[in-house]
Amino acid sequence: MARTLAANSFLQRLIGAAALDSAIYEEVEADRSATGQALTVVVLSSLAAGVGSRGLGGTTLSNAAFWGIVALMAWAAWALLTLQIGGRILPEPDTSVDVGELLRTTGFAAAPGILRVFGILPGVTIPVFLISAVWMLAAMVVAVRQALDYRSTGRAIAVCILGWALAIAFAIGLGLFFSPAVS
C-alpha cells in the first residue's frame, strides 16, 4: 500500500533548504503548489540584499532598493543560465528538464540569502554577503542535482559555478551601468 507523507510547512522547507537537505529539494521539486513559496524565498532574499547593502554606509533607501532589484535579476539570470547549461549543454542521460521544477528548487536555494539582512550591521556587511553567497552556491548545487536528476554532484557543481560566474558578471554589469552616481 502506498503511503502518503504530509508536506513540510513553509518554514520547515526554508530551514531544510538552507540546511542543504536533498529530501526538501525533492519535495519542492515534486510539489507544483510550492512555486509561490519558492518565489517568496527569492523575493525575501532579494529584499534582504537590499536592506543588508545599507551596512556599507551612506547607502540611501533608493540605492538599497536598487541593490535588491539587482539581486532579484541576478537570481533570475542564474536560474536561466542553470537551465540552459545544465539541461542543454551538460545533461546526463537521465536528465529531465522541467522549468517549474528547476525554478522551485533554485528558488528555495536562495534561502541562505535571507541572512544578508544582517549586512545592515556596520563592519559585517562584506563577510555576511560573502558567506551567504557561498552558502547559496552550495544550496544551488543540491537544488540542481535534484531538479535535473543528476547522479554526479561534480556535474552539478560545474553547472552551478559556471552559471554563478556568468550571473555575477551580469549583476556587476547591471550595477556599473545603472548604479546611481556617487557624489
pLDDT one-digit tens code per residue, 6-16:
689 999 999 99
The overall average pLDDT reported for the chain is: 89
Cell numbers 556617487 correspond to: 182
Reference 130, options 142, 109, 113, 106; nearest CA is 113
Q: What tens digit of pLDDT does each residue of 56-84 get?
A: 776 677 888 888 888 898 898 889 999 99
CB 45 within 8 A of CB 140: no
pTM, to two decimals? 0.86
Q: How far apart are CA 13 and CA 28, in angstroms?
A: 8
Q: What is the pLDDT of residue 96?
A: 84
Q: What is the pLDDT of residue 65?
A: 86
107 has pLDDT over 70: yes
Q: What is the pLDDT of residue 106?
A: 96
CA 167 to chain centre: 11
Q: What is the pLDDT of residue 180?
A: 61
List the domain boundaries for the chain: 15-178
Q: Which of 16-25, 103-112, 171-180 has the lowest mean pLDDT?
A: 171-180
Q: How far apart are CA 44 and CA 148, in angstroms?
A: 25
33 has pLDDT over 90: yes
Q: What is the pLDDT of residue 6?
A: 66
